[in-house]
Structure 1
Amino acid sequence: MSNRLRVLLADDQFLVRAGIVSLLGLDPGIDVVAEASDGEQALKLVASHRPDVLLLDLRMPRLDGIGVLTRLREDQDPTPVLVLTTFDDDEQVVAAMRAGARGYLLKDVTLEELTAALRQVAAGQRYIQPAITATLVAHFADPEPAEPPAYIPRLTDRELDVLRLLAAGWPNRDIAESLHLAEGTVKNHVSAIMDKLGVRDRTKAVLRALELGLLSRS
């Protein structure tokens, strides 16, 4: 039985699709099982091929990426979606994540980052490019008034410092240098943050913190 990752690619530009297929072909663990040139075709191919991940552009004819995400969310077991697009404006990023995207990348990413993102999304995790995470933070910096959540975990000042740098996409080593801490200490803080927020990875920690308004607090 093959362990190769089965990817469905949806993009309206032929040359872009050809380039992505060619690049992904360099990874022996990934198969592009089908290609779609519009949103309606993407939905049909998802239903017939049941890929591990849908690699989806947002601007497409007939049905755009947000529409595809919205329709897929109606499935009992929706295919995980990784958005790969040229658009990094706040509204597109937030709309895609709210519509159910598991990850969001810009088309200037490296092949290494793209393949890592595909595997992470297929494994049920989220993957957001650091620059996009910063966009989400900026969008939620001044949230609309809303009913407060029933419970907001208490993070220490140092944990909040670490969380803010996590949200900016910094790796542990750079966080340690910035805060004058040992890298092992930073790892402990990251683990404590994820435990308190009830999540299992760094991206979910940032998204959960945004939902709770933790990153907008002084």
Structure 2
Amino acid sequence: MKIRVVVADDFPLVREGVVRALKHDPALEVVGQACNGQEALELASSLKPDVMILDLRMPDLGGLAVLEKLRTEQAAVRVIVMTASEQAGTLLDAIAAGAAGYLSKRTTGEELRQAVITAHGGGSVITPSLASHLLKEFSSSARGEQSTVRPLLGQRELDVLRLVVQGKTDNEIGAELYISPRTVQNHLTRIREKTGLRRRAELTRWAVEHAIG
């Protein structure tokens, strides 16, 4: 069975190039193309693709917002972010929001095809030139701020936050910790109050930066 792919980018030439690259592998099938974030969500809902290749900067709804919605509404879709940005912060935000892969637009067609296959199989893919950013972030976090942050949160709050980092929903967190989804939400409310952060992606990034997870 072919791997079904949706390509989402607001530049037609970029979409066409990605589609053309994917067509070189008979195991991959492009089932839809989106020119903005809202259309990407609609195609994910109607077509149920296996993998989505997503640009972060799109009109109507940005890529990070699309990632967060897909994680809660279409969790089975594996998302590979493909962007011109090579900034560490953008990479961390995408991973925090649930991306299975992060590729630079310098990526070759062969690398893109392999990334789709890897993501579909449950793996993660990061362009090698960008992976060093992630390693540096983890390294500096582990050396520096871990001891000052943990006292801020209670043990159960830390448990909940670790599972948020893993991309789990409130129901999944509750099942793993043997607590109700409402109790999970109460813990998240207290975590948000203590950290001053509101969005789930912000909490995930904060946890990564402070070596929680």
TM beyond 0.5: yes
- Alignment coverage as a number of residue pairs: 152
Give, in angstroms, the shift of residue 49 of structure 1: 0.4
The residue number in structure 2 matching 1:96 is: 94
2:150 to 143, 147, 152: 147
1:112/1:14 Cα in 2 relative to 1: closer, same or farther (>3 Å)?
same
TM-score with structure 2 length normalisation? 0.66
4+ runs deviating over 6 angstroms? none
What residue in structure 2 maps to residue 8 of structure 1?
Answer: 6
Deviations 1:77-107 (A, max 9, x none): 3311011111110111000000000111101
Q: C-alpha offsets along residues 3-31 of structure 1, whole Å, 9 cap, x if unaligned? A: 11110000000111111111211111111
Shift of 1:139: 2.4
Q: Percent of counterpart pairs with the same letter?
A: 40
Name 2:113's counterpart in structure 1.
115
How far apart in 1 are the matches of 2:77 and 2:58? 19
Which one scores higher on RCO, CA 8 angstroms, separation ≥ 6? 2
User: In the aligned structure 1, how far is the partner of 2:103 from the partner of 2:75?
Assistant: 23
Structure 1 portions without partners, runs of 5+: 151-209, 214-218
Higher helix share: 2
Q: Distance in 2 between matches of 1:115 and 1:127?
A: 11
- CA distance in structure 1 between the partners assigned to 2:106 and 2:46 by the alignment: 30
For 1:176, the equivalent position in structure 2 comes to: none
Summarize the Cα distance change of 1:52–1:140 in structure 2 as closer, same or farther, 3 Å threshold. same
Q: CA RMSD in A?
A: 2.1
Question: Which residue identity does 1:33 align to in structure 2?
Answer: V
The separation in 2 between residues aligned to 1:84 and 1:12, in whole angstroms, is 12
Distance in 2, matches of 1:112 and 1:66, equals: 26
